[in-house]
Amino acid sequence: MKIKPLGAAMALVLASGAAFAQDCTPAHQFPTVTPGALTVGTYELLPFISTKDGGFSGTDAEIIKEIAKMECLEIKTVALDPAALIQAVVAGQIDMTVGNWYRTAARAEVVNLSGPLYLDQMGIISKDGFTKVAEAEGKKVGTVQGYLWSDHVKTVFGDDATLYPTTVGMAQDLAAGRLEVGFESYTVVKEAQKSGAYDGYQVLVVESDERIPATVEPGQSTFPHTKGNDAMTTALDEDIAALRASGRLAEILVAAGLDASAAEPGEPRLIK
């Protein structure tokens, strides 16, 4: 994928953070695209990231703000289509990107990855408050294509499972009673319920079931950043560890409606 020059491909949305006092001492030293600033690629994916109305909010934004404070850096956000964000990091146009990116082996080949931030947990949507995969057996279920668990749901439920291209179609069929149970990102559903979606349904984190590996090892979110910038990787990892140890990371997730357990992602691993 070719990347156009900065002015043509991307729009600088926000430069946040006033100049830091001269006595601000950064926790680490590492190079950035613009000295004194962290240039962050963004797109719209609530509750993880939003730049609507010139703002910078969401779980990933709040984490980055905390890191910027520790490193005495301003934040510059750049809006770009999500399909081009990793390439923009590779091209050196931005320092990093945010928005619930999974730690994958393929990404690790072209960019550096921070340690895991939080888990993107699989949710089960039902009227009865199901938490187990087994509780949905014998019922009409649905999920969305492209998730870690999608193919496994189809394998477990066979003809009783429908795969949808988007979450909208699945939500419509649940509302119409054509489905009894849905499997979706817990976070995505919780966010949608704030706007009245999934009325009459509960969404809970799915308990571990070996038949669906994503329930045992959910995807770990990361901050993809410049390949070879190991000093930045060290800074991100140590700053994230500090936020987790202080409880601040869990606070950020809970404030966005995520389950506090997502703040404990376990040892770093890569999806292959």
C-alpha span between 182 and 123 (Å, rounded): 8
- For the chain, list the domains and their CATH numbers: 6-119+220-263 (3.40.190.10), 122-216 (3.40.190.10)
- pLDDT single digits (tens) 208-241: 999 999 999 888 999 999 999 999 999 999 999 9
Angle at the Cα of 44 (from 88 to 59), degrees rounded to 5?
95
**Half-sphere exposure (Cβ direction) of 231: Cα atoms closer than 13 Å:** 8
Q: How many angstroms separate the most distant Cα atoms in the chain? A: 65
What the block records as the tokens of 30 is: 């590492």
More confidently predicted of 256 and 8: 256
Q: What is the pLDDT of residues 27-49, one digit of tens each?
A: 999 999 999 999 999 988 888 99
Q: For 100-147, what is each residue's pLDDT tens digit?
A: 898 989 899 999 999 999 998 899 999 999 999 999 999 999 999 878
Whether residue 9 is predicted with pLDDT greater than 70 in this model: the reply is: no
Q: Which contiguous run of DSSP H or E holds residue 249?
A: helix 248-255
Question: Does residue 16 surpass a pLDDT of 80?
Answer: no
Which pLDDT score is estimated for 188?
85
- Mean pLDDT for 180-190 is 92
- CA–CA separation, 182 and 202 (whole Å): 10
Contact of 229 with 30, CB cutoff 8 Å: yes
- Cβ proximity of 192 and 198 under 8 Å: yes
pLDDT at 11: 52
Instruction: Check residues 52 and 141 and name the one with the higher pLDDT.
Output: 141
Q: What is the predicted pLDDT for the residue at 42?
A: 95
Residue in 117, 169, 118 with CA at minimum distance from that of residue 143:
169
Q: What is the pTM of this model?
A: 0.77
